[in-house]
Amino acid sequence: MSNRRLGTWRWAVGLIALLGLLASACGSSSDSATPEVSTPEPTAPATAAVPDAATLDTEADVASDTDVEVPPNDLLANVVVIDPAALPFTDAMNTNAATSDEDDANVGCPSPENDASVWYSITPTIDMRLSVSAEGSDFPAGVSAASGEPGSLQLIECRPFAFVVEAEANVTYHFQVFDGEDPSSQGGNLVFRVEEAPELVRESTEGLAPLGQEFVETVAGDIEVTDGAFMFAVVDAHGEAVAGSNGVDGDGNAPTATDVFRIGSITKVFTSAATLTLVEDGVVDLDAPASRYVSRVPVPDDVTVRDLLRHTSGIYNYTDDPDFIPSTFDAPDRFWTPEEVVAVVVDQPSLFEPGSEFRYSNTNYVILGVLIEEVTGQQYHEVLRERIISPLGLSSTYLAGFEGGPEVFDPYEHEGDADYDYTSVASGAWSAGAMVSSAGDLHTLFTALFDEEIVSSDLVAQMIDGTEYGFGMELFQSGEGLFGHGGGIPGYVTFVLHSPESGVTGFLVSTDPVADNRYAIDKMFEGFAALASD
């Protein structure tokens, strides 16, 4: 993969840790605390460089300088730029709710009592949509946006690398890019892509059959894509699929309901189900110390199998290590063993007493993969194929990097980098996020789970028991009776949602770095709610 394309996708390199982003959009949240940060020294104002008028995407790089200039561009000319140095930000600045989404791809948002990095302020004179991203940044980096007046700001977003803001005319917005490890320091340069709001008016889904063909096509049509594709698919109780898409890959192919994608952390549903089959067989006890079954990697003696499944172990998340993600890009052909992955965090102390808190950690599911191998004497992917994939006839599903399968929908432009080596990414993700699957196969998996074809009703009940996370399953406060999981791995953001009552499964995938996945997820929940009320 070229460095340019690699940089484009660094917004998604939380690997499989985008749970927070997707879950927060659907009403679930984490209890973890925001890192303590110190108040930085005043920072120089930002400068917006003049973009190349020939480019299709309006871009303005914001770097440290002494002046702020408005680029002479048709769209950016409608933005009034305010000198950040003239704004009275202080260490007592009140950015309300600044800890929201603090776990998104391992980025700790600045605390409410600290002014982090450069605040770059703009006041649009027309309604417009701003795609904001951090570029020239080392992982992890984050971007914050707030509105209002200094002293009483309201945080709009705090995301890893990129997000979209619907900016209203004559409202002042403040942006910053910060280091995810040290939110009090600069994390890179801000890049804005500006579009006029009238060009992005969304069609209403009111009156459309919920989750039907017109519904998914309307939602997909509302998603702006600039460098990839988006798909929203729904599979009904009879296995019939409808799908809407926007954008294409480098060969001009639009994604369809039958295409296969890297699904990231949705892999955890498979790992959880495989673990529960061992519980069903009586060879694993949920409440026994995981160390009873695992010898290849260290596991604290007071961490149970249940703790690993529910993310209540207190074990540090290896994708939070600042060196891990960059290392997968620096050596894309490296093959990571589970032992090497866990060794990344072996010296990290426990975050809390096991069982006392929830904290999403990919390390938990790598350890579960090792547990599965040690208990069965087989490789993890062999166990999945024997116990889940083959019995259910999941023809599009396999563990990337460990076995072959159907070609994955290409998220990259064909500029000599379409054959990027996923070895390091896939082996590093392994049982926490390396699966490849399709909308139809995921529908079959969730249907089989709730039809008790994989494990008994008692274990299914435990799998979905909890307030925000069960066993490899997200539980949504805003969608009672709906279960699923979000996923993210370089080049893909995915989300699956299943209703056991209706037998319907929704699945969306984006290969575009600034696609409004939050909007699409909200529409998915809206569709399920309308379906339930019919």
Percent share of the chain, pLDDT over 90: 51
Torsion of CA 408, 476, 367, 442, to 10 degrees: -30
pLDDT value at 254 more than 90: yes
Question: pLDDT class for 515, splitting at 50, 70, 90?
Answer: confident
Residue 260, CA distances (Å) to 200, 397, 401, 495 in order: 29, 8, 15, 14
Helix 439-450, helix 267-280: angle, nearest 10: 30
**Other CB atoms within 10 Å distance of the CB of residue 508:** 29
Q: At the top level of CATH, which class does the domain 58-200 belong to?
A: mainly beta
**Predicted pLDDT of residue 150:** 58
pLDDT tens-place string over residues 361-411: 999 999 999 999 999 999 999 999 999 999 999 999 999 999 999 999 987
Number of continuous H segments (helices) and E segments (strands) in the chain: 14, 20
Higher pLDDT, 50 or 475: 475
What six digits make up the tokens of 358? Answer: 């929830």
pLDDT value at 106 more than 80: no
Long-range contacts of 402-407, Cβ-Cβ distance < 8 Å, separation of 24 or more = 402/426, 402/427, 402/434, 405/260, 405/436, 406/260, 406/436, 407/260
**Predicted pLDDT of residue 2:** 27
Domain with CATH 2.60.120 in the chain: 58-200
Cα 392 to the center of its chain, rounded Å: 27
Residue type, 149: E
pLDDT value at 161 more than 90: no
Distance CA 115, CA 463 (A): 41
Residue 293, CA distances (Å) to 96, 307, 365, 453 in order: 45, 14, 14, 25
Question: pLDDT class for 71, splitting at 50, 70, 90?
Answer: very low
Lowest-pLDDT choice from 188-197, 211-220, 351-360: 188-197
Q: DSSP assignment of 1-48, as one string?
A: --HHHHHHGGGGTTTT-THHHHHHHTT----PPPPP-PPPPP-PPEEE
**Predicted pLDDT of residue 485:** 97
Percent share of the chain, pLDDT over 70: 67
Distance CA 252, CA 247 (A): 8
**Predicted pLDDT of residue 347:** 93
Q: At the top level of CATH, which class does the domain 261-533 belong to?
A: alpha beta
- pTM, full prediction: 0.73
Average pLDDT value for residue range 457-465: 96
What six digits make up the tokens of 140? Answer: 């992890």
Question: Which of 25, 176, 173 lies closest to 101 in space, CA to CA?
Answer: 25
Question: pLDDT class for 186, splitting at 50, 70, 90?
Answer: low
pLDDT value at 192 more than 90: no
Average per-residue pLDDT for the chain: 76
Question: pLDDT class for 446, splitting at 50, 70, 90?
Answer: very high
**Predicted pLDDT of residue 412:** 57
pLDDT value at 197 more than 70: no
Question: pLDDT class for 7, splitting at 50, 70, 90?
Answer: very low
User: Are the CB atoms for 314 and 357 separated by under 8 Å?
Assistant: yes
pLDDT tens-place string over residues 113-154: 344 445 667 777 667 777 777 665 555 567 777 776 655 667
pLDDT value at 42 more than 80: no
User: Are the CB atoms for 357 and 469 separated by under 8 Å?
Assistant: no
Residue 343, CA distances (Å) to 78, 289, 318, 381, 428 in order: 51, 20, 9, 21, 12
pLDDT value at 444 more than 50: yes
Higher pLDDT, 429 or 516: 429
Cα 410 to the center of its chain, rounded Å: 18
Average pLDDT value for residue range 447-454: 97
What six digits make up the tokens of 531? Answer: 């379906």
Higher pLDDT, 495 or 80: 495
Distance CA 191, CA 28 (A): 30
**Predicted pLDDT of residue 467:** 83
**Predicted pLDDT of residue 125:** 66
What six digits make up the tokens of 110? Answer: 């600045």
Average pLDDT value for residue range 466-480: 84
**Predicted pLDDT of residue 251:** 84
Most confidently predicted of 85-99, 320-334, 492-506? 492-506
pLDDT value at 321 more than 60: yes
pLDDT value at 25 more than 80: no
Most confidently predicted of 75-89, 158-172, 391-405? 391-405
pLDDT value at 329 more than 50: yes
171 three-state secondary structure: coil
Question: pLDDT class for 78, splitting at 50, 70, 90?
Answer: very low
**Other CB atoms within 10 Å distance of the CB of residue 281:** 12
Question: Secondary structure of the chain: what % helix, strand, coil (to 5)?
Answer: 30, 20, 50
pLDDT value at 442 more than 90: yes
**Predicted pLDDT of residue 364:** 98
494 three-state secondary structure: strand
237 three-state secondary structure: coil
User: Are the CB atoms for 287 and 306 separated by under 8 Å?
Assistant: yes
Question: pLDDT class for 98, splitting at 50, 70, 90?
Answer: very low
Strand order in the sheet with 229-235: 241-247, 229-235, 504-510, 492-499, 483-489, 474-475
- H or E segment at 441? helix 439-450
523 three-state secondary structure: helix
Question: pLDDT class for 35, splitting at 50, 70, 90?
Answer: very low
pLDDT tens-place string over residues 260-304: 999 999 999 999 999 999 999 999 999 999 999 999 999 999 999
Distance CA 522, CA 289 (A): 39
Long-range contacts of 497-502, Cβ-Cβ distance < 8 Å, separation of 24 or more = 497/524, 497/525, 497/528, 498/443, 498/446, 498/447, 498/450, 499/528, 499/531, 499/532, 500/446, 500/450, 501/532, 502/237, 502/528, 502/531, 502/532
Among all chains, which residue has been given the structure tokens 């660094």? Answer: 10
**Predicted pLDDT of residue 135:** 64
Lowest-pLDDT choice from 105-109, 196-200, 334-338, 383-387: 105-109
Q: DSSP assignment of 332-372, as one string?
A: TT----HHHHHHTTTTSPPSS-TTS-----HHHHHHHHHHH
pLDDT value at 490 more than 90: no
Residue 526, CA distances (Å) to 26, 272, 333 in order: 11, 28, 42
What six digits make up the tokens of 164? Answer: 């979209």
Domain with CATH 3.40.710.10 in the chain: 261-533
**Predicted pLDDT of residue 155:** 72
**Predicted pLDDT of residue 227:** 78
